[in-house]
């Protein structure tokens, strides 16, 4: 838990393998050193990931909650629409919206419910070859460090759009369906 770039990930085929691994005799010296805390996340391995140019990838989708990939999403939508058609891509994006909404609803009782606060989340989504989105993880307060010029530009736009949504100047009416690069997915809060 709380790792990145594939560090600390182990693959098991059976529950018994996990139990055996947990016993000190089954782990390598490196694994023994790395695993000091007993926090684990188990999730299904996606065997048929969607590939672009023969490579697996995942999407980092930023979700801004108010009151409680290196591609821009528009580029990915155009690419997928050209390959799979608009209906399948629309279904994919609706499925992703449902992932965001359901995951936030599952923790809404512990999220601070203050209309003067906001939180930015980074959702990591993997697509399978049938264009089904799978939630890999949710990062609260994701890193805004840039690793390239394109990443820097993306994150600068993200911050500008976030400040537009927060609307400290009071310019928005509250009826907008889109502000900056953010689309309104759900508006049923307190």
Domain coordinates of the chain in residue numbers? 1-42, 51-183
1, pLDDT greater than 50: no
Answer yes or no: pTM beyond 0.75: no
Q: Per-residue pLDDT tens for 25-50? A: 555 566 555 555 566 777 788 888 88
Burial 77-113 (b: 16+ CB within 10 A, else e): beebeeeeeeeebeebbeebbebbeeebeeeeeeeee
Q: Per-residue pLDDT tens for 41-75? A: 777 888 888 888 888 888 888 777 665 444 567 78
**In this predicted structure, what is the pLDDT of residue 184?**
77
Superfamily of domain 51-183: ATP-grasp fold, B domain (3.30.470.20)
Residues in the chain: 190
């Amino acid at each position: 838990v709380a790792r990145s770039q594939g560090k600390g990930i182990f693959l098991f085929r059976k529950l018994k393998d996990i139990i055996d691994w947990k016993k000190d005799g089954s782990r390598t010296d490196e694994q023994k050193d790395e695993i000091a805390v007993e926090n684990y996340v188990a999730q299904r391995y996606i065997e048929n990931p969607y590939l672009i140019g023969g490579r697996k990838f995942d999407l980092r989708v930023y979700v801004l909650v108010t009151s409680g990939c290196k591609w821009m999403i528009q580029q990915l939508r155009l690419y997928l629409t050209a390959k799979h058609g608009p209906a399948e891509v629309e279904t994919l994006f609706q499925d992703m919206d449902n992932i965001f909404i359901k995951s936030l609803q599952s923790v809404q009782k512990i999220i601070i419910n203050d209309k003067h606060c906001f939180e930015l989340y980074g959702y990591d989504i993997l697509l399978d070859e049938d264009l089904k989105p799978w939630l890999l993880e949710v990062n609260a307060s994701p890193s805004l460090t840039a690793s390239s010029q394109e990443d820097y530009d993306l994150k600068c736009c993200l911050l500008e759009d976030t400040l537009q949504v927060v609307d400290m100047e009071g310019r928005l009416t509250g009826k907008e369906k889109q502000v900056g690069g953010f689309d309104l997915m759900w508006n049923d809060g307190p």
